[in-house]
Amino acid sequence: MSDRWDVLGLGVAAVDDLFYVERFPRPNTKTPIQAQERQGGGLTGTALVAAARLGVRAAYLGILGDDPLSRFALESLESEGVDCTPVLRHPDARPVYAVVIVDRSSGERTIFYTTAGYMPVPSERIEAQLIQRCRVLFVDYTAGEGGLYATMLAHRFGIPVVADIEREQAPAVAELISQVDHLIVDVEIAARLSGETQPPSMVRALARRERACCVVTAGEKGCWYAEWGGEVHHFPAYRVEVVDTTGCGDVFHGAYAACIARGEPVARAIQVASATAALKATQPGGRSGIPTWSVVEAFLNTAAHVP
């Protein structure tokens, strides 16, 4: 189809209010806010922005209302070139809202969030022809039964599915994990899912012959991955000056999905995703530091890995 999307995302879009402090405060103390800003966020929302900045056609399928937060979430996606024509409307729907406290001394962050008003897309509202229009389907754990149904449709059309799983106990997630083609999880989730204590063993436990790739990410330690249940490989993280880690995992997922949609091999997708996430960490907020394809390529020519 001439109007196909490269990546169609099904899951959460959020609004993040970011507050920057010199360092995280101790309990029962006061800390001045040095700076603050509002950005779009969310696992799927930020992944789609990362994919769009890398030059692929991205689209978002979710449910939003007509309140100020919903309008901000929608406008922040559209301003990045993400096609939001699949978005459904409900008067009571809201994006996830988060308050993010960023420690400027370390770049680490703590997130306070509410899912009040968040509505996953139900299976009956997902049309097969919509899924058929994408080259890669991206789902996150909040998509629930709708995400599982969309995954089944994608497989019917031979479309690979990339997933971001942050909570293994969410509705339909256990079955979703079993169906995902490209499973990317952080080391804490991987440990709980596998019962293993070391990343290579986690990958071996979660990889399988029918799964295109399993990736376990571990921040500055890099990531481990295996294709089709084969040999486990380690890819070290890139060395950068970390300002804010907000959204790094989402950006990794989106860049990886973009590469798969472009027909890149898994090893290249891992390299680009690692570089894109590292570059994002050098800027504040979940999206402001997401680089373009040309910036990533230039970075890869000179980048050094964490020892």
In the 3-class helix/strand/coil scheme, how is 66-90 assigned residue by residue?
CCHHHHHHHHHHHCCCCECCCCEEC
Q: Which domain holds residue 140?
A: 5-13+43-60+81-87+118-180+236-302
In a domain, 104, yes or no: no
Instruction: Please give the pLDDT value at position 303.
Output: 87
In a domain, 99, yes or no: no
For 177-181, which contacts have Cβ atoms below 8 Å and span 24 or more sequence positions? 179/148, 179/151, 179/152, 179/155, 180/139, 180/151, 180/211, 181/211, 181/212, 181/213
Instruction: Please give the pLDDT value at position 206.
Output: 96
pLDDT tens sequence for the chain (307 residues): 447 899 999 999 999 998 999 999 889 999 999 999 999 999 999 999 999 999 999 999 999 999 999 999 999 999 999 999 999 999 999 999 999 898 999 888 898 999 999 999 999 999 999 999 999 999 999 999 999 999 999 999 999 999 999 998 888 999 999 999 999 999 999 999 999 999 999 999 999 999 999 999 999 999 999 999 999 999 999 999 998 888 899 999 999 999 999 999 999 999 999 999 999 999 987 888 999 999 999 999 998 998 7
In a domain, 217, yes or no: no
Instruction: Please give the pLDDT value at position 1.
Output: 43
Spatial separation of the C-alpha atoms in residues 201 and 62, rounded to whole Å? 35
CA distances in angstroms from 44 to 137, 142, 249, 251, 254, listed in the order given: 11, 9, 11, 9, 8
Looking at the structure of the chain, the number of domains it has is 1
In a domain, 128, yes or no: yes
Spatial separation of the C-alpha atoms in residues 259 and 273, rounded to whole Å? 8
In a domain, 138, yes or no: yes
SS3 200: helix
Instruction: Please give the pLDDT value at position 38.
Output: 93
Spatial separation of the C-alpha atoms in residues 266 and 284, rounded to whole Å? 28
Token pair, residue 303, equals: 């980048």
Query: Whose structure tokens read 């995703």?
Result: 273
In a domain, 36, yes or no: no
The count of C-alpha atoms lying within 13 angstroms of the C-alpha of 29, restricted to the half-sphere facing its C-beta, is: 8
Length of the chain: 307
DSSP secondary structure letters along 126-186: --HHHHHTEEEEEEEGGGHHHHHHHHHHHHHTT--EEEE-S-TTSTTHHHHHHH-SEEEEE
Spatial separation of the C-alpha atoms in residues 182 and 210, rounded to whole Å? 10
Q: What is the dihedral of CA 125, 128, 129, 130, to 10 degrees?
A: 50
Instruction: Please give the pLDDT value at position 196.
Output: 97
In a domain, 197, yes or no: no
Contact assessment for residue 221 and residue 14, using Cβ atoms and an 8 Å cutoff:
no
What residue type is 286 in one-letter code? G
Spatial separation of the C-alpha atoms in residues 253 and 242, rounded to whole Å? 19
Instruction: Please give the pLDDT value at position 306.
Output: 84
Q: What is the CATH number of the domain that holds 288?
A: 3.40.1190.20
In a domain, 187, yes or no: no
